[in-house]
A and B are shown apart, each in its own frame.
Chain A
């Protein structure tokens, strides 16, 4: 396996022309959260509270809120229901928001190394298969914006 497929961290920094308070709502308010991801969300934004998002029909991402420091930092666990490789709670998403003038600098990190530790003999791409499965299902459904908007498709 080459290094690229062993990478278990997705990391990106975004500049958003909105205050951290506004951006924060898009992670904890189900009505706003589903404007950028998923069909349905149930969010209980308190430590130990449920994170639930039906990303595409029949495919549910689930986790728990771990850390909430509104509007600066949000940490929640993440995984796919029914997945052996990335079950709910097996990976962690960290979101750091900092005010930047009238906007926000957002740092998003999806760390799959917790899942890797649980299955240390497996290489990185095991983690990706479950999500590829979902992508494939979305492709078949033909209506998922994740698939139709993906630049490489």
Chain B
């Protein structure tokens, strides 16, 4: 999970993820969308791959990349946690406040 968050913290990697969301592309095809070197793109792809956000497939001599829905689903779960954690905090704080009000009344 942490690896996935770190992976998408980099704007270029988010752009790459968007590119390979619906299309399977080679590193060269991905590089042609950006003004960065091919090795830089390969490095980004490695980070995304290790984070489980993209999968790599060999097709002859070419390696093709595409986004992994499962990896994205994990990230979505993380976002669900965002509201879960916040709302748990809301419950705690509101209950604390209610107890304070009762103490004042007593």
Chain A contacts to B: CB under 8 angstroms: 1-2, 4-5, 7, 10, 12, 14, 16-19, 22-23, 25-26, 32, 35-37, 104, 106, 108, 110, 123-126, 128-129, 131-133, 135-137, 139-140, 145-146, 149-153
Contact = CB atoms under 8 A, between A and B. Distances in A.
A18 B79 contact: no
How many chain B residues sit at the interface, stated as a range, is 35 or more
Contacts, number: 124
A30 to B, nearest CB: 14
A133 B93 contact: no
Contacts of A22: 94, 97-98, 101
Given A5-B69, A36-B89, A151 B76 contact: no
Contacts of A106: 87
Contact of A108 (B22, B73, B87, B98): B87
B80 A10 contact: yes
B23 interface: no
Contact of A132 (B79, B84, B101): B79
Contacts of B18: 126, 129
Given A22-B98, A26-B90, A152-B78, A12 B8 contact: no
A18 B97 contact: yes
Contacts of B72: 1, 5, 125, 128
* Top 7 A-B residue pairs of the complex, sorted by shortest distance between their CB atoms: A18-B98, A136-B9, A36-B89, A18-B94, A36-B90, A136-B5, A150-B81
B93 A32 contact: yes
Contacts of A16: 90-91, 94-95
Given A131-B82, A151-B84, A139 B9 contact: yes
A78 to B, nearest CB: 11
A36 B90 CA distance: 5
B21 interface: yes
28 contacts: A1-B69, A5-B76, A7-B76, A16-B90, A16-B94, A19-B98, A22-B97, A36-B87, A36-B93, A37-B86, A106-B87, A108-B87, A110-B83, A124-B76, A128-B72, A128-B75, A132-B5, A133-B9, A133-B14, A135-B82, A136-B5, A136-B8, A136-B9, A146-B85, A149-B85, A152-B1, A152-B81, A153-B1
